[in-house]
Amino acid sequence: MISGLGLTAASATIMGAAGGTAAAATRPGDRPDPRHHPRKAKKMKLTTLADGLLFPEGPVALPGGDVLVVEIHRGTLTRIKPDGTTSVAAQVGGGPNGAALGPDGRVYLANCGGLRRFEVGGFVFAGGIPDDYESGSIQAVDLTTGAVETLYTEADGQQLRGPNDLVFDAHGGIYFTDYGKSDGVTADKGRLYYAKADGSSIKMIAGGMEGPNGIGLSPDGKRMYVSETYTARVWWWDVTGPGQIEGGRSLGGSGGGNFLYTAPDYTNFDSLGVDGHGNVCVASMIHSGISVVSPKGKLVDFVEIDVDDDPGITNICWGGPDMRTAYITASSTGKLLKAEWPRPGLKLNYGG
């Protein structure tokens, strides 16, 4: 998810922390032309389901057809009906970044603690450290009442800096990324955590990463994938037990992970989703679209997402009876998009 960015006036470059990157501060015409791109881009019909959102991320398709998104610049969890009407499900404060349905029916949020709002080239971005920042957190929202519970703000006495994205395993545990924070000069190293949904236990399982953003599990739950923003790399680990991961197959792998894939051009990676075939679908910014990567590290497809030249394509999830309806956030223009996807998405644990 895009978040935690700092803007330097001298270079007019968006710099990451706490959740991703926006695109570099270029005009639309300065960005790569897909016709001369090393990846052959596919296009598909896109529908704008909702607009006017204040930096939407973290889409969650609900069983009844509604979709939830977080709005970073509004501090809300927002419900979007199939006809595009919106309503606030909960005021959560800070900077909600990622969302997932949990085992108790509540919606769990990775909250980065807040971000500043930037406009570059007519596009909206999120980043930096706001004046009211206190910490990042993991929250749970009751959709019936709108009640918000903060479960974690630290682990082993160490502050959660900028939680970004999360995924539940079959045991009801939460894997999540912490991108960190940046003031545009210095930046935290990113971390990965595992926590219980009842608020009773949290531990760091990897550290020293360069902007860990999206996170997902393979269909059998035996692999964990993490995307890094500025390196535009995807890493993976074997999951050997609840909250236990093992990497080490790649020399110098970020967080000890195993290398899977890197973009061949100037691209930033944001969040990711795993489809029903086990492919890792990474929201790709600057050259806007979805990079579909096989478990063997091969680029299966690059799906171009061109909506008003928005460089901030940040998330994908799936819903519908056959899991072929993709919901994609175009964050820099405040839109939730809808498309029929060529492959079904993975049915998530506790996703209804």
229-239 per-position pLDDT tens digit: 999 999 999 99
At 40 the pLDDT is 66
Q: What is the mean pLDDT of the chain?
A: 91
The pLDDT value recorded for residue 7 is 34
Please indicate, yes or no, whether the overall pTM of this predicted structure exceeds 0.85.
Answer: yes
Where along the chain do its domains lie?
A: 39-340
Residue-wise pLDDT for 254-290, tens only, equals: 999 999 999 999 999 999 999 999 999 999 999 999 9
Predicted confidence (pLDDT) per residue in 146-180, tens digit: 999 999 999 999 999 999 999 999 999 999 999 99
Reported as a single tens digit per residue, the pLDDT across 30-49 is: 544 443 445 568 889 999 99
- In CATH terms, 39-340 corresponds, of 2.30.30.90, 2.60.40.10, 1.10.10.60, 2.120.10.30, to 2.120.10.30
Rg value, the chain, Cα: 18
Q: What is the mean pLDDT of residues 76-102?
A: 98
pLDDT at 39: 59
